[in-house]
Homo-oligomer: A and B are copies of this chain.
Amino acid sequence: MPAEHMNRKIISESDPQNGREDIVHKVMEQQPDEEILYDLAELFKVFGDSTRIRILYAMFDNEMCVNDIAKLLNLSQSSVSHQLRILKSSKLVKFRRDGKSIYYSLDDEHVRAIISMGMEHVEE
């Protein structure tokens, strides 16, 4: 072990920066995989658009078909459909067909929980 290294280490130990380095390494090990954090961001991105939030809220207590939502929120059918596709692919909504209409609703309690939690933060 080289003398410089020994020396450097002793200096570091009395240097407050060294504690930081330890923490940085510890945190580095604790960080979830990039891939998971990417997916997590993608999930929140879906909630991060006011049109989609309004659509999700419209389905908070009731299932709604595309036309209902478009009328309710004064949006084009196309726009609603595009957004529902995004909500579907993120597994935030489920749907069932009944005749010509397709009824959408929130996929699970998680979705409601995330929205409610966000709402609490906003309403503070």
Contacts and interface: CB of A to CB of B under 8 A. Distances in A.
Contact of A27 (B30, B36, B72, B113): B72
Interface in A51-75: 52-54, 57-58, 60-62, 64-65, 68, 71-72
Interface string A20-43: 100110111011101011111111
A110 B120 contact: yes
Contact of A122 (B40, B53, B122): B40
A47 B44 CA distance: 6
21 contacts: A20-B68, A23-B62, A24-B64, A27-B58, A27-B72, A31-B54, A32-B119, A36-B122, A36-B123, A37-B50, A37-B54, A40-B50, A40-B115, A40-B119, A42-B48, A44-B44, A44-B48, A44-B118, A45-B45, A47-B48, A117-B117
A5 interface: no
A24 B114 contact: no
B115 A114 contact: no
Interface in A88-124: 91, 110-111, 113-115, 117-123
